[in-house]
């Protein structure tokens, strides 16, 4: 196919990282920050007396290393520490109806919200309101709701442990377990799948394990963009001679070639490091089939091997696991032709992975949204655990499972009680500590919360951060439903669309960000967060707050609680005066936080217990469980070969629903986001040329169909039968109930679609 010039589409041929990344950082600082105080804060990111980077949940070595350069961490910090403001005058000049026409990028780019605001429906604008008035009115409205279970308490994963803990105590004393949470759209498959397999819903590796691993298998994540500090680790292990096998339907530049900005020689010589030793491109949704193929090959190799040279770790399987025989029988029954067809990978490629895996004495498997955001997300995660169990890769140095968490404290929020399915022992300890009886019935996760709002069962929504309506799929169903709410409260740093989907009563409460000083009655306070590897440490902001009216998240939650629950048993104001008291309370409800205040005062903090690292399995059988994925297809209702699978993915210049710019440098897209990435052969077969206008129609049954129009096709190195569009633009294609039944996670990465050409470029 002759290449046409399409505006904004230019192949990117350089390695990821390198000077391009440095230039992008300098630009982010220049565009957003007030020099010099704010720019200097960047140097305090992830330092012992500094703040935790809001960018991602990848850990840092002891928080004492020299400044780790990271382009997207810099963007996250500068975007928060921006000099731009959204004062009351802004709202006075722009009706909510007019703001709804702005793009997500334009809304957030206005800067930090400075005052508490209340919506005035007569004028269709947000107006400034005193904190006390706002809190009193919210309290009155909350007390007037039909029942506590008609209120949804959403949490986004930037909230600190202290804020999240107070928030769950508030909601439970109010009387509900409705805790929709961003992890319901993210790693819920991990939180549900891994406890069944290995007894805990978290990763088992530490950074030290990366120093000792002999093989890394990286499945369905894009660290060059989303976990950029991981690139330093990948760079190191490649230089140690460790092979990295990637499974990703798209070629992601940083997983191919990367120039480490921390590496002076690489920078000076314009050199780069090849990251993946093997790059396999399964079809979207083909991971379980690929993993089953790899494990089947291992079983076959083991059957041929003699005593002493066995491929499987039989001792581990016998001593530590359950369910092996049925699991192995299922693998033996799976036919190679079907594995090849569904995974989209040749048999010999899968056998080669098995061989590399059999050679390694210590393997880590890392994974992200490419694994979890599928209708079989939970089972996909469990296949990864199975693969590791076959060679005893739990509880030994250099080995384990590494889910790449999303938001910088999403894991911590769950550790301190943000869960819609509370365990009895936690509830008992809450009652012991605070003297009220928390509800025990299961509440709503994110999708269930929105379904309750759509049906009118839920009448109020409080959001501790985030952009729930845009983060959830299916705007067509969600946006109108938001307007039926009686109460909408958003605690936020920046303006976004969820704030504009106003209810009968709507409030916007501006809070401090991570980078800012938090001073309470007893002096400056630090908060704590937990990274992807279960390390808990302190974070202390240094910048002057964006406005004198901002309050900290813990203070806002305590204010809401006091206003709503006049007879509360909880000493809210004491806890706000001194966050050590919040941490003491956390420790009394969650024993694994013992000596919390003492241990966060050591640089680097402390690690929460991870029993699988000691080969202790907190499952009902007391063993790690081999859990089967029956069949190979993730959704057997869509096997018609004309149906393709669409994934919604992040560009390099976005943070979830926050769009920093319209560029996606490493994928060669500049100044636009209206693209659908397609395989060249699929395009040829469908008669679609580079840059042609297309439409994407879902292949769901009548009534469930959705369409994405006004997009162009771009040829990209993506597996056949697979297409990709940006999140959130592509979210309109995902029906709200197309979810992983086990975890409730929307299938954002695997929508059955058909593509038609509308007009030529």
Ligand X SMILES: Nc1nc2c(c(=O)[nH]1)N[C@H]1C(S)=C(S)[C@@H](COP(=O)(O)OP(=O)(O)OC[C@H]3O[C@@H](n4cnc5c(=O)[nH]c(N)nc54)[C@H](O)[C@@H]3O)O[C@H]1N2
* Candidate list 150, 186, 192, 246; residue touching Mo ion; CB under 5 A: 186
Tell me the Ramachandran region of residue 501: left when phi exceeds 0, alpha when psi lies from -120 to 50, beta otherwise.
beta
> What does 649 interact with, of Mo ion, ligand X, none (CB < 5 to 8 A by kind)?
ligand X
Looking at 568-619, list the stretches that DSSP marks H as alpha helix, in order from N- to C-terminal side.
572-577, 579-589, 596-599
In angstroms, what is the minimal distance from the CB of 225 to ligand X?
A: 5
Closest to ligand X by CB, 173 or 287: 287
> What does 108 interact with, of Mo ion, ligand X, none (CB < 5 to 8 A by kind)?
ligand X
DSSP-assigned letter for residue 70: -
Q: Cα separation of 347 and 349, whole Å?
A: 5
Closest to Mo ion by CB, 193 or 406: 406
Closest to ligand X by CB, 407 or 665: 407
Beta strands in 493-534, from DSSP E residues, in sequence order: 505-510, 519-520, 523-524, 527-530
Q: Which stretch binds Mo ion (CB under 5 A): 73-81, 218-226, 401-409, 535-543?
A: 401-409
CA angle 132-138-144, nearest 5°? 140
Pair of tokens at residue 81 = 């520490």
Closest CA to 138 of 457, 482, 507: 507
Q: Cα separation of 388 and 215, whole Å?
A: 12
Q: Are 284 and 645 in contact (CB under 8 A)?
A: yes
In angstroms, what is the minimal distance from the CB of 383 to ligand X?
A: 12
In angstroms, what is the minimal distance from the CB of 473 to ligand X?
A: 6
In angstroms, what is the minimal distance from the CB of 294 to ligand X?
A: 13
Closest to Mo ion by CB, 406 or 559: 406
**Inter-helix orientation angle 347-359/287-304, to 10°:** 60
Other Cβ atoms closer than 10 A to 307 = 5
> What does 226 interact with, of ligand X, Mo ion, none (CB < 5 to 8 A by kind)?
ligand X
Report the C-alpha dihedral over residues 119, 125, 131, 133, rounded to 10 degrees: -50
Beta strands in 12-148, from DSSP E residues, in sequence order: 16-17, 85-86, 112-113, 117-120, 125-128
Closest to ligand X by CB, 108 or 313: 108
How many Cα atoms are found within 13 Å in the side-chain-facing hemisphere of 524? 13
Closest to ligand X by CB, 322 or 743: 743
Residue of minimal Cβ distance to Mo ion: 406
> What does 559 interact with, of Mo ion, ligand X, none (CB < 5 to 8 A by kind)?
none
CA distances from 481 to 38, 459, 472 (A): 40, 10, 13
In angstroms, what is the minimal distance from the CB of 63 to ligand X?
A: 19
How many Cα atoms are found within 13 Å in the side-chain-facing hemisphere of 716? 28
* Candidate list 406, 422, 689, 744; residue touching Mo ion; CB under 5 A: 406
Closest to Mo ion by CB, 191 or 525: 191
Task: Classify strands 519-520 and 523-524 as parallel, antiparallel or unpaired.
Answer: antiparallel
Closest CA to 267 of 33, 56, 19: 19
- Gyration radius (Cα) of the chain, Å: 25
In angstroms, what is the minimal distance from the CB of 138 to ligand X?
A: 15
H/E stretch holding 168 reads: helix 161-174
> What does 364 interact with, of Mo ion, ligand X, none (CB < 5 to 8 A by kind)?
none
In angstroms, what is the minimal distance from the CB of 598 to ligand X?
A: 27
In angstroms, what is the minimal distance from the CB of 747 to Mo ion?
A: 15
DSSP bridge pairs for 523: 520
Q: Which stretch binds Mo ion (CB under 5 A): 122-130, 216-224, 405-413, 431-439?
A: 405-413
Closest to Mo ion by CB, 285 or 406: 406
In angstroms, what is the minimal distance from the CB of 728 to Mo ion?
A: 13
Closest to ligand X by CB, 313 or 729: 729
Closest to Mo ion by CB, 422 or 746: 746
> What does 528 interact with, of ligand X, Mo ion, none (CB < 5 to 8 A by kind)?
none
Closest to Mo ion by CB, 406 or 422: 406
Q: Cα separation of 210 and 225, whole Å?
A: 20
> What does 553 interact with, of Mo ion, ligand X, none (CB < 5 to 8 A by kind)?
ligand X
Q: Cα separation of 343 and 752, whole Å?
A: 16
Count of residues engaged in binding Mo ion, rule: CB under 5 A: 2
Q: Which stretch binds Mo ion (CB under 5 A): 52-60, 402-410, 456-464, 469-477?
A: 402-410
Q: Cα separation of 55 and 64, whole Å?
A: 18
Closest to ligand X by CB, 317 or 536: 536
> What does 56 interact with, of Mo ion, ligand X, none (CB < 5 to 8 A by kind)?
ligand X
Q: Each residue of 219-233: b (16+ CB within 10 Å) or e?
A: bbbbbbbbbbbbbbb
Q: Are 91 and 129 in contact (CB under 8 A)?
A: no
> What does 320 interact with, of ligand X, Mo ion, none (CB < 5 to 8 A by kind)?
none
Closest CA to 583 of 573, 594, 597: 597
Which residues lie near ligand X (CB under 6 A)? 55-56, 72, 108, 156-158, 182, 185-186, 219-222, 225-226, 247-250, 252, 282, 284-285, 287, 368-370, 373, 404, 406-407, 464-468, 471, 473, 491-494, 496, 511, 513-514, 553, 647-650, 654-658, 727-728, 730-731, 748-749
In angstroms, what is the minimal distance from the CB of 186 to Mo ion?
A: 3
In angstroms, what is the minimal distance from the CB of 5 to ligand X?
A: 26
In angstroms, what is the minimal distance from the CB of 182 to Mo ion?
A: 6
- 55 forms part of the interface with Mo ion (CB under 5 A): no
Q: Cα separation of 380 and 188, whole Å?
A: 12
Closest to Mo ion by CB, 181 or 518: 181
> What does 494 interact with, of ligand X, Mo ion, none (CB < 5 to 8 A by kind)?
ligand X
**Inter-helix orientation angle 287-304/336-343, to 10°:** 150
> What does 224 interact with, of Mo ion, ligand X, none (CB < 5 to 8 A by kind)?
none
In angstroms, what is the minimal distance from the CB of 420 to ligand X?
A: 16
CA distances from 707 to 664, 710, 752 (A): 24, 10, 12
In angstroms, what is the minimal distance from the CB of 183 to ligand X?
A: 7
- Give the 3-state secondary structure of 205-249: CCHHHHHHCCEEEEECCCHHHHCHHHHHHHHHHHHCCCCEEEECC
> What does 493 interact with, of Mo ion, ligand X, none (CB < 5 to 8 A by kind)?
ligand X
In angstroms, what is the minimal distance from the CB of 446 to ligand X?
A: 8
> What does 655 interact with, of Mo ion, ligand X, none (CB < 5 to 8 A by kind)?
ligand X
In angstroms, what is the minimal distance from the CB of 711 to ligand X?
A: 14
> What does 749 interact with, of Mo ion, ligand X, none (CB < 5 to 8 A by kind)?
ligand X
> What does 50 interact with, of Mo ion, ligand X, none (CB < 5 to 8 A by kind)?
none
Q: Which positions touch Mo ion (CB under 5 A)?
A: 186, 406
């Amino acid at each position: 196919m002759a290449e046409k010039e399409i505006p904004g589409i230019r192949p990117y041929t350089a390695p990821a990282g390198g000077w391009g990344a440095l230039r992008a950082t300098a630009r982010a600082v220049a565009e957003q920050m007030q020099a010099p105080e704010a720019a200097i804060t960047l140097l305090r990111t992830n330092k012992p007396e500094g703040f935790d980077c809001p960018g991602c949940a990848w850990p840092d070595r002891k928080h004492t290393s020299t400044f780790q350069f990271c382009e997207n961490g810099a963007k996250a910090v500068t975007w928060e520490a921006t000099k731009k403001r959204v004062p009351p005058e802004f709202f006075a000049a722009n009706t909510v109806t007019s703001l709804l026409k702005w793009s997500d990028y334009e809304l957030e780019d206005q800067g930090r919200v400075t005052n508490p605001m209340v919506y005035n429906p007569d004028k269709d604008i947000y107006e400034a309101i005193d904190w006390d008035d706002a809190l009193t009115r919210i309290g009155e409205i909350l007390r007037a709701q039909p029942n506590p279970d008609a209120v949804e308490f959403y949490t986004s994963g930037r909230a600190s442990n202290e804020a999240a803990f107070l928030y769950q105590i508030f909601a439970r004393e109010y009387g509900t377990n409705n805790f929709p949470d961003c992890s319901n759209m993210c790693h819920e498959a991990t939180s549900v799948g891994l406890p069944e397999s290995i007894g805990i819903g978290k990763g088992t590796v530490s950074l030290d394990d990366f120093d000792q691993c002999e093989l890394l298998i990286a499945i369905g994540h894009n660290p060059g963009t989303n976990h950029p500090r991981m690139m330093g680790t990948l760079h190191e292990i490649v230089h140690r001679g460790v092979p990295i096998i990637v499974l990703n339907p798209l070629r992601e530049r940083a997983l191919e070639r990367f120039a480490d900005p921390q590496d002076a020689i690489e920078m000076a010589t314009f050199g780069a490091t090849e990251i993946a030793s093997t790059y396999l491109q399964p079809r979207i949704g083909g991971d379980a089939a690929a993993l089953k193929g790899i494990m089947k090959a291992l079983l076959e190799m083991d059957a041929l091997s003699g005593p002493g040279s066995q491929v499987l770790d039989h001792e581990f399987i016998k001593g530590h696991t359950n369910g092996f025989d049925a699991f192995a029988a299922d693998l033996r029954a799976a036919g190679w032709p079907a594995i090849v067809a569904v995974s989209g990978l040749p048999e010999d490629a899968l056998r080669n992975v098995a061989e590399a895996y059999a050679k390694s004495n210590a393997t880590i498997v890392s994974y992200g949204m490419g694994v979890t955001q599928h209708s079989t997300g939970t089972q996909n995660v469990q296949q990864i655990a199975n693969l590791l169990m076959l060679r005893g890769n739990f509880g030994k140095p250099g080995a384990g499972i590494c889910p790449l968490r999303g938001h910088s404290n999403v894991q911590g929020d769950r550790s301190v009680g943000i869960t819609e399915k509370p365990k009895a022992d936690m509830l008992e300890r809450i009652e012991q500590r605070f003297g009220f009886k928390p509800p025990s019935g299961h509440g709503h996760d994110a999708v269930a919360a929105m379904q309750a709002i759509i049906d009118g069962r839920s009448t109020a929504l409080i959001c501790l951060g985030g952009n729930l309506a845009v983060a959830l799929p299916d705007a067509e169903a969600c946006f109108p439903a938001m307007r039926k709410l009686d109460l909408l409260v958003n605690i936020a740093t920046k303006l976004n669309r969820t704030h504009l989907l106003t209810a009968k009563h709507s409030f916007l409460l501006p809070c401090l960000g991570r980078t800012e000083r938090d001073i309470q009655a007893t002096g400056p306070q630090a908060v704590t967060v937990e990274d992807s590897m279960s390390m808990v440490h302190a974070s202390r902001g240094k910048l002057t707050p964006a406005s004198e009216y901002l309050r900290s998240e813990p203070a806002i939650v305590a204010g809401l609680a006091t206003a709503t629950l006049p007879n509360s048993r909880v000493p809210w104001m004491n806890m706000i005066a001194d966050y050590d008291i919040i941490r003491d309370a956390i420790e009394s409800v969650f024993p694994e936080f013992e000596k919390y205040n003492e241990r966060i005062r050591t640089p680097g903090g402390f690690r929460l217990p991870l029993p699988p690292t000691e080969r202790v399995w907190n499952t009902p059988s007391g063993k790690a469980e081999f859990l089967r994925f029956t069949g190979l297809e993730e959704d057997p209702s869509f096997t018609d070969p004309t149906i393709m699978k669409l994934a919604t993915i992040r560009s390099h210049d976005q943070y979830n629903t926050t769009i920093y710019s319209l560029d996606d440098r490493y994928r060669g897209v500049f100044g636009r986001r209206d693209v659908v990435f397609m395989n060249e052969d699929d395009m040829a077969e469908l008669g679609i040329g580079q840059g042609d206008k297309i439409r994407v129609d879902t292949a769901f049954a009548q009534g469930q169909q959705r369409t994405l129009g006004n997009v162009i096709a771009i040829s990209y190195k993506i597996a056949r039968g697979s297409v990709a569009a940006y999140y959130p633009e592509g979210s309109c294609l995902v029906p709200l109930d197309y979810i992983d039944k086990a975890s409730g996670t929307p299938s954002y990465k695997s929508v059955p679609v058909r593509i038609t050409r509308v007009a030529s470029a």
